[in-house]
Amino acid sequence: MSLDWIASPGRPLRGEVTVPGDKSISHRAIMLAAIADGSSRITGFLEGEDTRATARIFAQLGVRIEAPNPSERIVHGVGMHGLRASDAPLDCGNAGTGMRLLTGLLAGQGFASVLVGDASLSKRPMARVIEPLTRMQAKIAAEAGGLPPLRIHASNDMQGIDFEQPVASAQVKSAVLLAGLYAQGETRVHEPHPTRDYTERMLRAFGWPIDFSPGQARLSGGHRLQATDVSVPADFSSAAFFLVAASVIPGSELLIRRVGMNPRRTGLLAALRLMGADITKEYPGEQGGEAVADLRVRHASLRGITVPEQLVPDMIDEFPALFVAAALAEGRTVVTGAAELRVKESDRIATMARGLAALGAKIEETPDGAIIEGGRLQGGQADSHGDHRIAMSLAIAAQRAAGPVRIGDCDNVATSFPGFVELARSCGFALETAASR
Ligand SMILES: O=C(O)C1=C[C@@H](OP(=O)(O)O)[C@@H](O)[C@H](O)C1
Ligand SMILES: C=C(OP(=O)(O)O)C(=O)O
C-alpha cells in the first residue's frame, strides 16, 4: 500500500532546520571506502533508500559495513581487488546515481554482476554509460533500448579512453572515472558544461592521483585508495525545498543549517535571487573538504525570469521546486536547455506540468523546458508519479493553494529525504499522510 499526502494552505514558516546528508557524496563515500585499504568512518551519511541500497550492494559484494549510529557507517575496505561476486542481482532501487556509478566500478572486476532497479530506474537510459565503458573494453549487456537490468561480464583488460561527453552528466563522468581506476593507461573526460566534482574530490581525498578542473578530469589506473574519514554535509537539493517554501509563503523566515555549497550544486540560489528572493549566506565554512554555510531565507515577492542556460547543470535536481516558485511569481518564467529533466525518476517537465496544471497554474511544456505564467493556485489532486522531488515540490505549492491538495504516491520521498514530513511540519507546513485510495 502506498502513501498519499494531504497538503493544505499553510502558515508562515519559522525556525531552524537541518536537512539530511548529501546523497551524491554518500553514494560515493560508500563506494570508495569499500575498495580502499583500511577502515573509513562516514558521518552525516544519508539514511535514504537510494544510499542504503548502495551500502547493501557492497555488503553483498563482501564488504563489512557497520552502522554504529544513525547516519554513521564504518566501511571495512577490501582493497582494489577484494570485492567478491554476488549470486543474487544487485538492487539499486530508485537510484540512477547508484546504478550508473556501480556500472563503471564493476566493469573492470574479475567477476560478473547483474544490476537491477525499481520500475522507475528500469526505464532510465543506461546507454550513456554503456557506450564509453564498452570503448574501454567493458562487456555490458542491457535490455532493448539500453535499459536495465544490466549484465556486466568480467573484464580484466580495461583500457583508458579520452572521452568527450555528449551530455553534461556527473553520473556518466563518474562511471568512466571509476572504470578508469581499473584500466590500463590514462582516462580523460571532457564535459560540455562542468558538473558536480565529488568523485574527483573524493578520489583525491582517498589518495588517488587525479588532475581535474571545471569541465575536465584525468587519471591513470593502477594505484590504490587509502581509507579516510568522510564528513558528509547537508544536501543542498533537500535544502532547496525550504528555500523555495519560505520564499513563497508570506511572513516566513527560516534558517537552514550547514548546507553543502559546492558551486556545481547551488544554481537554484542564483536563479531564486534573480527572481528577487531574500536569501543570505551566514557563517561560511568547510566540512569534509566541501564549502558549507547557514542559509537564512525570508519571504519575498518573486518575479518571473528567463533561467540562464548556464545555470541548468548546477540546479538540475531543483527544477521541480523552481517551477513552483515560478507558478507563484509575478510574470513569466522561461526554462530552456533542460531536456535532461525528461529522463530523471519521472519525466519532470511532464509531471510538474501536469501537477501544477491540476492546481490551476498556467504552464506550457516545451521539448527542453517550460513556460510558466505566475498566478494563483487552487486545491485539488496531483500525482507525484513516484518521484520524490515532485512530491515535495507539490507539497510546497499546496502551502499557497486556495484549498487542500491530495498528492499521490509519495513513498519514494524516503529515497532522498527521510523525515521530510516531520521536518516540514516542525517549521509550519500543513502536511498529513494518508493511505492511498
Ligand atoms: O552524480 C550525481 O550524484 C548526480 C548527478 C545528476 O545526474 P546526471 O549525471 O544524470 O545529470 C543528478 O541529477 C543526480 O541527482 C545525482
Ligand atoms: C535524479 C536524481 O537522482 P538519481 O539520478 O540518483 O536517481 C535526483 O535525486 O533527483
Spatial distance between the Cα atoms of 385 and 413, rounded to a whole number of angstroms: 11
362 annotated to a ligand binding site = no
Q: What pLDDT score does 22 carry?
A: 98
Q: What pLDDT score does 436 carry?
A: 86
Residues having CB within 6 Å of any atom of ligand 1: 24, 97, 169-171, 174, 196, 316-317, 340
Q: How far is CA 208 from the centre of its chain?
A: 24
Spatial distance between the Cα atoms of 86 and 80, rounded to a whole number of angstroms: 17
With beta carbons less than 8 A apart as the criterion, state whether 61 and 86 touch: yes
Cα-to-centroid distance, 171 and ligand 1 (Å):
5
Q: What is the ipTM, given to two decimal places? A: 0.99
Q: Where are the domains of the chain?
A: 3-21+233-435, 23-231
With beta carbons less than 8 A apart as the criterion, state whether 101 and 30 touch: no
Which among 25, 121, 169, 347 is the best mutation to test ligand 1's pocket, defined by most ligand atoms within 8 Å of the CB? Answer: 169
- Backbone phi and psi for residue 78, each to the nearest 5 degrees, phi listed first: -110, 5
Cα-to-centroid distance, 242 and ligand 2 (Å):
19
171 annotated to a ligand binding site = yes
Indicate if ligand 2 lies below 6 Å from the C-beta of 344: yes
Cα-to-centroid distance, 375 and ligand 1 (Å):
31
Helix (H, G, I), strand (E, B) or coil at 394: helix
- The residue nearest atom 14 of ligand 1, judged by CA position, is 97
Q: What pLDDT score does 149 carry?
A: 98
Which among 19, 22, 23, 241 is the best mutation to test ligand 2's pocket, defined by most ligand atoms within 8 Å of the CB? Answer: 23
With beta carbons less than 8 A apart as the criterion, state whether 22 and 48 touch: no
pTM: 0.98
Spatial distance between the Cα atoms of 378 and 358, rounded to a whole number of angstroms: 8
Q: What pLDDT score does 437 carry?
A: 75
Q: One fold for both 3-21+233-435 and 23-231? A: yes
CATH no., domain 3-21+233-435: 3.65.10.10
Which among 57, 317, 322, 387 is the best mutation to test ligand 2's pocket, defined by most ligand atoms within 8 Å of the CB? Answer: 317
In the block, cell 516540514 appears at 424
303 annotated to a ligand binding site = no
Spatial distance between the Cα atoms of 64 and 42, rounded to a whole number of angstroms: 14
Atom of ligand 1 nearest to the CA of 168: 11
Q: What pLDDT score does 215 carry?
A: 98
Spatial distance between the Cα atoms of 117 and 189, rounded to a whole number of angstroms: 27
The one-digit pLDDT tens for each residue of the chain (437 residues) are 689 999 999 899 999 999 999 999 999 999 999 999 999 999 999 999 999 999 999 999 999 999 999 999 999 999 999 999 999 999 999 999 999 999 999 999 999 999 999 999 999 999 999 999 999 999 999 999 999 999 999 999 999 999 999 999 999 999 999 999 999 999 999 999 999 999 999 999 999 999 999 999 999 999 999 999 999 999 999 999 999 999 999 999 999 999 999 999 999 999 999 999 999 999 999 999 999 999 999 999 999 999 999 999 999 999 999 999 999 999 999 999 999 999 999 999 999 999 999 999 999 999 999 999 999 999 999 999 999 999 999 999 999 999 999 999 999 999 999 999 999 999 999 999 999 87
Q: What pLDDT score does 416 carry?
A: 98
Active-site annotation holds for 278: no
Q: What pLDDT score does 2 carry?
A: 84
Q: Which of 412, 436, 410 is nearest to 355 (CA)?
A: 410
Indicate if ligand 2 lies below 6 Å from the C-beta of 416: yes
Q: Return the sign of the alpha-carbon dihedral for residues 202, 281, 330, 393.
A: positive
DSSP 220-282: ESS---B---EEPPBPHHHHHHHHHHHHHSTT-EEEEEEEE--TTT-HHHHHHHHTT-EEEEE
Q: Which three cell numbers stand for residue 1?
A: 500500500
28 annotated to a ligand binding site = yes
Spatial distance between the Cα atoms of 375 and 326, rounded to a whole number of angstroms: 9
- How many residues comprise the chain? 437
What CATH homologous superfamily does 23-231 map to?
Enolpyruvate transferase domain (3.65.10.10)
In the block, cell 550513456 appears at 128
Cα-to-centroid distance, 24 and ligand 1 (Å):
7
